[in-house]
Every structure is written in C-alpha cells, then in structure tokens.
A and B are shown apart, each in its own frame.
Chain A
Amino acid sequence: MAGKSGRAISAAPKDGLRSRILSWEGALVLIFLAVQIFGVSISPNYNFTNVLREMPKYLAEIFMLFGMACILILGDIDISVGSIVCLSATMACFAGNAGAPFPVVVLVCLGIGLLCGMVNGFLAIKLQELPTMIITLGTQIIFRGIAEVTLKSGGSVSMEDVAGLMQMGKKLGPFPLSLFFVVLTAVIFSVLLNRTVFGRELYAVGANKTAAYYAGIEVQKDRFICYSLLGGLAGVCGIFLLASLYGANTTTGSGFEMEVIAMCVFGGIATTGGKGNLTGAFIAAFVIVCIRIALGQRNINTQLILVIIGAMLIISVLLPTISNGLRAKKQKR
C-alpha cells in the first residue's frame, strides 16, 4: 500500500509569526499597552517605579495562575485554592510563632498546600462522576473551615518576626523579589506545557478524555498531579502573602480562585479544556494587575474595579463568537 497513489503529505510546520501576531496573545499585548496609556492618563502617579512598588501585593496570587492553567486545560476546575492559601498561611503563622525557623515555616506552608491539593486530586479521581466544581466547592468550605477553627474566636493571627520572611519582601534593584519568582515559575510551566510529554498529555485529555485514555495516557494520574501542583502553588502564594501581610485571618485568600480563573479565561484558556496557552494567561494577569494599580491610585473603590474586570472577562470570551459571526456574515455575502 505504500505510495500506491504516490500522494505526499506535507510535514512542513506552518510559519507561525503571522498567526502569532493575529492571535489572542497578540491582542493581549496591545491591550496591555493600552492599559499603560490608560494608567498614565488617569493617574499622575502611574509610572514604572510606582507600579513595581505596588505590585507585590498582587503578585502572590499569580503563582496559582500556572497551576490553574493546567487544571483548566485538563477540562477540570478547582475553586478551593483561595481556602488553601488561607489554611497554609494560617498554619505557617502558627509554626513561625511557635519558634520554627524560616525554612520550616516555608515547608509547612508548601506542605499544607500540597496536601490540600492532593486531597482535591484524590477526590477528583475517586469521584469521577461528580463535577470537579462541586468537589472543590466542598473542599473550599472544608479547608477554610479548618483554618477558622484553628484561628478560634479572634479570627486572625499575626506573624511575629521570622528571620528570612522579611527578606522575601525585599527588592532586587527596582524589581520586587517575588516578581523574579513569578517569572521563573512562568518559564518552568511554559516549558512544561509546551515542550514536554506531560504538557502534551494535558492538552490531549482536555481535548478528548476518552481518546486520550485509549491512546495510553494515564488520565487520572495526570489529573492527580495537576491538582497537587496547584495546591503546592497555593502554598507558595501563601508564603508570599505572609511576606507582605505578616499574618492571616479568616478572609485571607478569599476570592483568589475566581480572580485566577478570570485571568486564565481572559488569557484565552477555555474552561472546556484543551485550548489556550500560558503566554496568554500570563499577559492577561499583568493586564489585570496594572488596571488595579491604576484605578487604585485614583482611589476608585475596589467594587468598581471588580465590575470593570468582570466586564472585560465577558467581552474577551465573547470576542471569538463575535468575530466568527462577522466572518460567517461576510462569507454569505
């Protein structure tokens, strides 16, 4: 049968540059630039130094972006991460206050995060008939509940000085230290998703779970790993949050899960799985952070910021539908 018809199939990769510029990531870069112009025009204090100075308080949650991207690409969702941040930060505080040295505090925070992630992963693969939204809604309540019980009536705990934690709030030149860690994590996850077998598997599972299983992918193992990774990253978020807040309370991390999901979706990652990439989500995260800083400098209240971000999210999700509709209309004519 070989070459019966002599028909050749091209294996030359398509030129990516044009399509990359015309993609959603290209559009996000433009949006990012537009937000900078917007920031400068509404606030006299909006400049490079000030933006970097205010950035750390928004950076911590971006760590979870990478894990959430993996989960969404799989076609799953995890809405418990805000509670994991709360629980891990709370436990780390207690550890620090009990006299544990800095590395132990970090390990406690990471460990609790990882453990919570593993619990999510375990439940997700054992209760496959349940939507993960419901499973993680349950663990969201449980994890925060445990934190609240630990915090007792006061509802908050202050971190006494732990040598090392102070260092994490430091800067390298004009850049906050946490920014380096965020970029480093972004590079690692970008390689993981785009260049490794594991990344390929995640896209395969998200695009067609059954076909991926038939092709020999251990779907449930991959899901477990992703939930654990995200839990661990929630722990990382907890550490950096402690470094800027010096404490935790019952509302620590609350709403983070939705913000992180919003960043991913705004960045072009479909909640239905199998589509989107980390670059888009990463740029989208900084678009949102910059909008927050700009509006915050004008003392525009946070509720209004939420309205704006929500509207942007819906528009970004609608865009492909609108452009497809226009294209179809054009073809009809």
Chain B
Amino acid sequence: MTEDIILKLEGITKIFPGVRALDRVHFELRRGEVHALMGENGAGKSTFIKVITGVHAAEEGKMYLDGREVHFRGPGDARDAGIAAVYQHPTSYPELSVTENIFIGHQLSRGGIIQWDEMNKRAEELLAGLHAGFRVTEEMGALSVAQQQMVEIAKALSMNARIIILDEPTAALSRTESEELYHIVDQLRESGISVIFISHRMEDMYRLANRVTVFRDSRYIGTYEVDKIPESDLIKAMVGREITDMYPKPEVKPGKELLRLEKLSRTGYFEDVSLHVRAGEIVGLTGLVGAGRTEVMEAACGITRADSGRVYLEGRELTIRRPADAMKAGLILLPEDRQKQGLILSWGLGRNVTLPIRRELAKGGVFNDEKKEREIAKKHLEEVDTKAVSIFDPVSFLSGGNQQKVVVAKALAQKNMKVIVMDEPTKGVDVGAKAEIYMIMGELAGRGYGILMISSEMPETLGMCDRIYVMCKGRVTGCLSRGEVTQEEILSLAMEKSAGWKEERG
C-alpha cells in the first residue's frame, strides 16, 4: 500500500486538572484504511478521539490533514474538514424522522423554506447505498440501535465526511447486526473513506482493521499490521503484562444439583425452558441477542414472572414473586446493565454492596447497623480485589470492570447465596479486567457456588463453561459439554435453521 496519509497526529498531549490524559501520542491514518484504536479503559482512546473531532484542544502536538497542519477550534471545524464521529449510543433525536436526523444542523433550504422532498430523496439515496431496510419517514426512536447507527453513518456521509470515527460500534449490537455493520464498513473502505474504530472486541478488529494502534496509560505503544501480530502480543501491548491464561477454568468436580428450571414459559418471550446448574459448575447460556436468554433468568430470579413451569433450588420448589424471594432462597441475578439495573451510581461502593442485606444486618430488623455494614462491605470488596480508595467512593467513579466487581461483592455478601447468574459479566470491560473477572468466576465455582453465565461472546463461553445451553427464539436448542464444542456447533444451534435438539451430557 502506498503511503497515502490522510490524517497524522504528532506528539499530542492533553492535560486535564491533575491528569495527563494523553502523553505525546502519535497516530497515522491512511486513505481508505480501517484503523482500529485499542487499549484498556482509561488508556486515552476517547480523549484522543475528542481531540481529532475538535471537542478538546490539545496542549501540545500537531495535527496534519492531507499533509497540511490544522487547528480545530471546535467540533464545527472538524466537521467542515470532513471528520465525523458515530458513538456507541447514537446521540440522535428519537422523536424526529430519519430524514430529519440525517439533515439536522444542515437542512436543505431555499429562501428559508425547508426542502422536504429533496431531503427525503437524498436521505433515501444515502440509506440505499448502505442497504438499509427501513424508510426515511420512520421515527428514529422506533429503530434498533444498529439501524440508528446506520442513520448516523448516513448523516456523516451527507456531510461529505472523509474520515468516520466509530466509537465501540458493536457493543450494543447482536451478532447478525454486527455482521451488517462490518459490511457497511467494508463499503466505506471501498469508496475511499477512512475509518477509525474503537472496540474491545478482538473479533471486530480481526474482521475489519488493516492496522491497529494501541494506547496504554495515556501513551502510544505502537501501530501494527493486523495480520502480522499474534493475539497474545497484542493483548500484552494493551495490558502491559503477559496474560498466560485468559480463561483460568479450574477443574472442579461438579457437586449436587443446585438450580433446576423445569419447562419454564412466558408467552412471547420463551417456552419450555429446562436447565440445571450443579455446585461448582460454570454453565453458559448463549444464543443470539433476543433469543430470550436474559428473559428466562429474569423470570427465574423474580424480576418478571413466568406463566408456567417450576424453579427448584437444591431439590426444593421455589415460589418466586419478586427478586427478594429469589435472593432469600439463594439465587441472584447480576444484571447485564450494571449502571441502570445493578448499581446505584451516585451511592458509595459500600452501601451498594449491603443494599440487598440491609434488613438482615439491621438492629431489630429496623435500624441500620452502619458499622457492621461497613465491615461487611470492606471485606467483600477486598475479596474480589476492587480497585478503590474508600468504600465511600461513588460507584460512578469506577471503571466497568471494577463496577462488575462491586456487583459480585453484592452477591457474595449474602451468606446463603448458592447460584449466581451473571448476565454478560464482561460487557464494556477491558481485556485486563476481563481476565480478573474470569478468575473470580473460577474461584467462586471452586468454592461451590453454581455459576450461570449468559454471554454473547463466544470465546468466553467456550473458555469458561463446563456446559453450554444454546437458545434460539425462546427455546433451548441444545446443551453441549466442554471440550467437545466448536463455535460452529453453537452458532448452528443458535440460528433458526437448526430444528433438532442435541444433548451431550458430560
């Protein structure tokens, strides 16, 4: 490839009060290249993107566009120069139509009158180019996240963007949706547009990127050709140490059966779901997004109610009407959306940990025992090795990985806990913290907890689970044992075409 550099940044330093967010960072983007930007949370990727898009002004360093030095005074300058960013959660106007969202801020008008027909036509052309299957008159809020991202990309194209930045584009997408996004990025590349994308998923990088640049601790580590660097070297570059075993799955001999779901059904969500988890076992529950995995466990754990079916814990049938019932019995769901469902972000770590056991700790069941609460919170937060200064630190200050640890500590603080259901435990968590969470899962299994992990990530499902249940369209389509499973097998069970159901007991 010829050295056709469209964007180049040299020695960029960005200082926030007390923090050096970027320290003499370099970056180089070729024309028509897909360039991945990787690194752990807090490595400085987002700040760097904001420097490129003119949101932040760098204290030091130079930026060249087409070989000429540029200074962006604001996002408007970057946009005029042909740089556009699409974020993980599109920042759109849900009540407005697709057309309006595409042309917001640069409506086509003649004499102050908005040219609707022309705008709709242009929008249709743009979306047709992206093979979008929805109409321009639809309300933005009615679209899926993937479709909204398409609109954002169309918006970037409508402004003649030459450089498009995608910030964690696949984080909220299902597998098929990710696949669609890959196609779009391929198309962009073919039409000569340069793409920078940030992602925690190795899969995205291998599928899309020509080159990858790694940041660590606000510093530039290196730029590599994707097909020339082994994965372990890349992880080492990101984390700064060698992770010898990403999936430290301990060999635990499964004990007695803890959780059993029998023919659990909820109309419109899932049907006849039966599964079981034994002590010391890590059981995976996988399938495409929307297959009903979360819904099954929500019903089992009392968040919602099943229409029919039974839930047994240690052979005893449970009557679960609300989350408190499930927790009392020894079954807890650590939800996928930590920030909305799992934690009270404005509260300190400690209070979050002891919230479910507030009543057991209270004097006479009425008055809070703050001293005992502090001791228990400290003990369990240290047990999972949370990186924090004080149990009074607000949870919102923590990284995704540490927030997940707080959620785990919340489960451990409940003495009678037997089965821990973790829904996408490593979502939004960087690679170093992921390894730590897997280690915690392994240790918990070793202690005799039954772990059920709902996950869309194939590598962790294959790496950590003793048995894997696969769901498709609200039904369990198979149960596969560790060691005999391939990614293809899981995928074919997760896809609609698989009719039969397969069981291999280990």
Contacts and interface: CB of A to CB of B under 8 A. Distances in A.
Interface of A: 1-5, 7-14, 195-201, 204, 207-208, 210-218, 274-275, 331
A154 to B, nearest CB: 48
B382 A195 contact: no
A9 B390 contact: yes
Contact of A216 (B356, B370, B389): B356
Interface stretch (B281-289, B359-367, B451-459): B359-367
A204 B344 contact: yes
A211 B341 contact: yes
Contacts of B367: 195-197
Given A274-B346, A331-B17, A10 B389 contact: yes
A210 B344 CA distance: 9
Contact of A218 (B324, B335, B368, B385): B324
A201 B387 contact: no
Contacts of A199: 368
A212 B344 contact: yes
B323 A214 contact: yes
A11 B443 contact: no
A275 to B, nearest CB: 8
A214 B345 contact: no
A196 B370 CA distance: 10
A214 B344 contact: no
Q: Closest 5 CB pairs between A and B?
A: A216-B324, A11-B378, A10-B390, A11-B374, A215-B355
Candidate in A8, A11, A218 with the most chain B CB atoms within 10 angstroms: A11
Interface residues of B, number: 49
A201 B384 contact: no
Interface in B352-394: 355-356, 358-359, 362, 365-368, 370, 374-375, 377-378, 381-392
Contact of B358 (A11, A13, A201): A201
Contacts of A201: 358
A214 B335 contact: yes
Nearest to A205: B344
B82 interface: no
7 contacts: A9-B386, A10-B391, A197-B362, A204-B347, A207-B344, A208-B340, A218-B324
Nearest to A219: B322
B303 interface: yes
B392 A215 contact: no
Contact of A4 (B365, B378, B385): B385
B478 interface: no
Given A214-B333, A218-B324, A197 B340 contact: no
B144 to A, nearest CB: 21
Contacts of B127: none
Given A196-B368, A208-B344, A208-B345, A1 B439 contact: yes
Contacts of B322: 216, 218
B153 interface: no
Contacts of B374: 11, 13
B471 interface: no
Contacts of A8: 382
A198 B359 CA distance: 9
Interface in B99-122: none
Contacts of A11: 350, 374-375, 377-378, 390-391
A14 B381 CA distance: 18
Given A13-B392, A218-B324, A211 B342 contact: yes
Interface of B: 17, 303, 322-324, 327, 333, 335, 340-347, 349-351, 355-356, 358-359, 362, 365-368, 370, 374-375, 377-378, 381-392, 410, 439-440, 443
Contacts of B384: 1
A3 B303 contact: no
Nearest to B349: A9
Q: Chain A at the B interface: mostly helix, strand, loop or mixed?
A: loop
Nearest to B384: A1
Contacts of A204: 344, 347, 355
A197 B364 CA distance: 10
B139 to A, nearest CB: 19
Contacts of B323: 213-216
Contacts of A14: 390, 392
Contacts of A12: 390
A16 to B, nearest CB: 11
A10 B358 CA distance: 20
A197 B443 CA distance: 32
B340 A3 contact: no
A276 to B, nearest CB: 12
A190 to B, nearest CB: 13
Contacts of A274: 344, 346
A3 B347 CA distance: 24
B385 A197 contact: no
Given A10-B390, A13-B374, A331-B17, A210 B341 contact: yes
B346 A207 contact: yes
Nearest to B446: A1
A214 B377 contact: no
B341 A9 contact: no
Given A11-B350, A13-B392, A214-B335, A2 B362 contact: no
A146 B358 CA distance: 42
A3 B380 CA distance: 10
B387 to A, nearest CB: 7
B435 to A, nearest CB: 12
A4 B440 CA distance: 11
A201 B387 CA distance: 27
A211 B385 contact: no
Contacts of B346: 207-208, 274-275
A211 B353 CA distance: 12
Contacts of A331: 17
Contacts of B386: 9
A187 to B, nearest CB: 14
Contacts of B362: 196-197
A259 B333 CA distance: 43
Contacts of B359: 197
Nearest to B334: A214
Given A9-B381, A216-B356, A218-B324, A195 B368 contact: yes
A1 B440 contact: yes
Most chain B beta-carbon neighbours within 10 Å: one of A3, A12, A200, A274: A200
Contacts of B410: 215
Contacts of B327: 216
Contact of B387 (A7, A217, A218): A7
